[in-house]
Structure 1
């Protein structure tokens, strides 16, 4: 059972008959840190509510989601492998989710199921918090072209980035990203990733390379300016080899945990009516086993 921070109000329980309930739908879902994240905020704000993990196999997705809505859930987060297929079940989809091609937040209303995507918000909020004053006028190099990369691309383009360079091991997938999202996107071959750092003010690694249990990311940073920013989307390990190399060079480093924490804020606000804050205590709690 999850234990909550000492001194926090007992907002996660006991629950009343008026409690608002939300959760996270995925397959599997045991690895998700979202219950710790939202549980912390429920306790911190003394809210009569709960947030639970909901393992749902792909073949049961529609029945489960409609059942949760009928049962009075406020909504759910959606994680792998359902973030793209869930769009077909939504009665309304916001513009960000439509452009990214995935939803990670469902809000259940009388008018039906509303699908949203908060990943772009989470990435940008983490970037602004961790590297305030980053140079949005300089080119950005984005490694990867999966769902997370699409969210990053949308967030950066909406912020006004004028040149987004995308390198992916599968170039065709990067071409698809560029075509579907549109904007000032240049697709480059994976072999050209090191050279693509020239003039870049921000490097974002959205691939799994460098993650615990995955192959390392081989990328010399020689062409990257010392005042650039390097951001990771993974948080296991929290300090990747890429971040360590960037910091040694003098660059600002942005770890991936903040994106996870900030992307949860709009979900919590939609279900429980409070815009929570990301604190150092929250970071420690979500990373820990307490």
Structure 2
């Protein structure tokens, strides 16, 4: 039997995921599986970092010469932009990053992969967003990335709803500036009248969280999608399923971008892992 353990040495490249809370993250497991499959001497660990401590932690990582990069998740995606020395054009447009690479001189370069991961996850489940109307709950980093990716995927209409209306207005304005022809508006807590309903907020991570919108307005013709991975079935998805909706869990968004995250952090190509002999395709 092959051991699942691997040795960490002074040559091992250190990767991290930065989040608050941290209990729900699945990225370390997936990244560590991937680098082991490729025989890469690297390891990812979770770092529980508060919003107040984020600048101090990111600055400290600059000085760690065996640190190669980190995944940045809730609630740090927007704040991390200002802590990077350079970011991709897409990340600057979105106003958020979810992956950072430490360059040899200690500078930090950020990018945003959530949007393409979410859209690829939908398509992998046989859900093509092209030509459909989308209700998007949230206006933070992940929501912004998803909104821009959905526009690129050819959606017909997007309605953005957020507890802070100012943030929804800001996202709608950025979408209109980048894509003047897109039909985009600020919405309310009512998701009725849309083909795909997306929760791109952090509501659902903690027991007792409120629902991100009025789930009683859902109907069986709608698809309800999450970005939260743990729990796999959030209170929102349970409510949507009870109303006859097709539901789409959060895990595919991560699965669709893991290889791209690893390639960005390690600054090297990361080909797909071939299926093992006897393993299902």
The TM tier, using the shorter chain, reads 0.7 to 0.9
Rounded to whole Å, the distance in 1 between the matches of 2:32 and 2:240 is 34
Flag the structure with higher helix content.
1
Shift of 1:249: 5.3
Rounded to whole Å, the distance in 2 between the matches of 1:25 and 1:249 is 35
**Alpha-carbon distance change, 67 to 181 in structure 1, aligned in 2, over 3 angstroms:** farther
User: Which of the residues 101, 116, 119 maps onto 2:111?
Assistant: 116
Counterpart residue number, 1:187: 186
Rounded to whole Å, the distance in 2 between the matches of 1:236 and 1:18 is 33
Give the alignment of 1:54-133 within 5 angstroms: 54-56=47-49, 57-68=53-64, 71-110=65-104, 112-130=107-125, 132-133=126-127
- 2:270 pairs with 1:274: yes
**Alpha-carbon distance change, 269 to 246 in structure 1, aligned in 2, over 3 angstroms:** same
Rounded to whole Å, the distance in 2 between the matches of 1:55 and 1:243 is 27
Give the alignment of 1:135-214 within 5 angstroms: 135-182=129-176, 183=179, 184=182, 185-190=184-189, 193-194=190-191, 197-198=192-193, 200-211=194-205, 212-214=207-209
- 2:40 pairs with 1:47: yes
Counterpart residue number, 1:264: 258
In the alignment, structure 1 segments of 5+ residues that lack a partner are 1-5, 280-290
Pairwise CA RMSD: 2.9
How many residue pairs get aligned? The number is: 261
Residue 238 of structure 1 aligns to a residue in which SS?
Answer: coil
Rounded to whole Å, the distance in 2 between the matches of 1:209 and 1:88 is 25
- 2:227 pairs with 1:233: yes
Shift of 1:133: 4.3
* TM-score, length basis structure 1: 0.77
Rounded to whole Å, the distance in 2 between the matches of 1:241 and 1:29 is 19
Residue 101 of structure 2 aligns to a residue in which SS?
Answer: strand
**Alpha-carbon distance change, 133 to 122 in structure 1, aligned in 2, over 3 angstroms:** closer
Shift of 1:60: 1.3
Counterpart residue number, 1:219: 215
Give the alignment of 1:237-252 within 5 angstroms: 237-247=231-241, 251-252=245-246
**Alpha-carbon distance change, 218 to 64 in structure 1, aligned in 2, over 3 angstroms:** same
Q: Answer yes or no: is the 8 Å Cα contact 1:30–1:53 preserved in 2.
A: no
Counterpart residue number, 2:279: none
**Per-residue deviation, residues 99-149 of structure 1 (Å, max 9, x unmatched):** 22111111223474221111112211211112x143420211112222221
Shift of 1:55: 4.5
